[in-house]
Amino acid sequence: MGDAYLDKISEFVSHQSRLCFSGHKREILRHRLESRLKKLGLANYAAYWYYLKQTSGEETVLLDCLTTNETFFFRNTDQFSHLRDVIIPDIETLRGQDVVKSWGGNSRVPALSIMKLRVLSAGCSTGEEPYSIAMTILESLRHPKAWDLEIIAGDLSESCLKTATEGYYENEKLKNIPDHYIDKYMRRDADGAVIREEVRNLVSFTHLNLNGLMKGVAFPGAVSFSAPFDIIFCRNVMIYFSSSCQQMLVDMLHRLLVPGGYLFTGDAEPLHLFDHDFETIKGAKCLIYKKTEMTDYA
Ligand SMILES: C[S@@+](CC[C@H](N)C(=O)[O-])C[C@H]1O[C@@H](n2cnc3c(N)ncnc32)[C@H](O)[C@@H]1O
């Protein structure tokens, strides 16, 4: 009977978030639930199931304790090097050409002066990923003041988002950040460093359930636009979904990108097992995908 309720909880979690705890991952579910049951003083999974159904806010707590939040600054440095050295300069050149064209065009069309760049960090955990993206883009842009840069960083875990929004990281977490980035983009104290306000202001953290987006729910209200994005980081998230959900996630990320937009996935998340319309970036030392320019939206 205990395991029947464990099944119910597992199905509920999968239905609400796509997190998959079948096969060998079942032990992870069991282990994490045990801690929650202990904290609540509940005797078994059945008792917890009824508690979950009757207690407002428990679903959020449950999903929070079932997510795996491992992350670190500049995870997969080759991806960040390619972003800094190739992708951002390419985008800056192309958008710059559009601006120059707009100056000489039809006078009834207002000339462009500010260029927009929209980035999504989906499954941003405690913020190291979106802040690494922000620092990299700032390092790379030749004319940062000419850009309206917006990085949307979303996660299912409320506790992660709280840490991310605070933007304070202890010394242990700073190991991967080049020293000159820390000096430029963070403020140190004896125990760690906080992200400077000008970098923090580029990143909007929001509660995001990719499951909702896959079902066609609009982007969370805190976000000032709904898509599409020029660049998406969705790394080390899909490995926690079942393979059928992974295909849906790939399709959804494709929809959220502009034609020619870039998708960064995790090291263990190559897309060759899925149907998709992305090209791999040749010459990069890491996996980065590009949405083909000629995408048919019909
Ligand atoms: C292992 S961390 C990866 C963090 C970061 N992207 C990186 O690669 O370092 C996975 C993150 O995905 C989030 N996540 C899992 N399922 C999600 C969902 N359905 N919607 C949004 N975020 C989700 C988790 O809360 C967790 O913070």
pLDDT in tens, 69-98: 999 999 999 999 999 999 999 999 988 887
Give the helix/strand (H/E) hosting 131.
Answer: helix 128-140
Report percent pLDDT > 70 for the chain: 92
Residue 225 has pLDDT above 90, yes or no: no
Q: Which atom of ligand 1 sits closest to the CA of residue 211? A: 19
Amino acid, single-letter form, for residue 138 = L
Q: Give the strands of the sheet with 115-122, arranged side by side.
A: 203-207, 147-155, 115-122, 229-234, 257-265, 289-291, 278-280
Q: Where in the chain is the domain with CATH 1.10.155.10?
A: 2-66
Q: Which pair of tokens denotes residue 267?
A: 């090291």
Q: Which atom of ligand 1 sits closest to the CA of residue 160? A: 27
Amino acid, single-letter form, for residue 257 = L
pLDDT category of residue 107 using cuts at 50, 70 and 90: low
How many angstroms separate the CA atoms of 30 and 53, rounded? 18
Neighbours of 124 (CB within 10 A): 31
This prediction's pTM: 0.93
Give the residue, by CA position, lying nearest to ligand 1 atom 2.
69
Give the residue, by CA position, lying nearest to ligand 1 atom 14.
123
- Written out in words, the top-level CATH class of the domain with range 2-66 is mainly alpha
pLDDT category of residue 298 using cuts at 50, 70 and 90: very low
Q: Which atom of ligand 1 sits closest to the CA of residue 18? A: 19
Looking at the chain, the number of H-run helices and the number of E-run strands are 12, 10
pLDDT at 216: 82
Binding-site residues, ligand 1, Cβ < 6 A? 17-19, 67-71, 75, 123, 125, 129, 155-157, 160, 208-211, 235-237, 240, 266
pLDDT category of residue 156 using cuts at 50, 70 and 90: very high
pLDDT category of residue 101 using cuts at 50, 70 and 90: confident
For domain 77-291, the CATH superfamily is Vaccinia Virus protein VP39 (3.40.50.150)
**Which SS3 state, helix, strand or coil, does residue 162 take?**
helix
- Residue 140 half-sphere exposure, CB side, CA atoms within 13 Å? 22
Q: Where in the chain is the domain with CATH 3.40.50.150?
A: 77-291
Top mutation candidate among 12, 20, 156, 263 for ligand 1, by most atoms within 8 Å of CB: 156
Neighbours of 267 (CB within 10 A): 14
According to DSSP, the β-strands at 192-195 and 186-188 are antiparallel
Q: What is the pLDDT of residues 239-266, one digit of tens each?
A: 999 988 999 999 999 999 999 999 999 9
How many angstroms separate the CA atoms of 297 and 207, rounded? 28
- Produce one character per residue of 33-55: b if its CB has 16 or more CB atoms within 10 Å, e if not: beebbeeeebeebbebbeebeee
47 alpha carbon – ligand 1 mean position (Å): 28
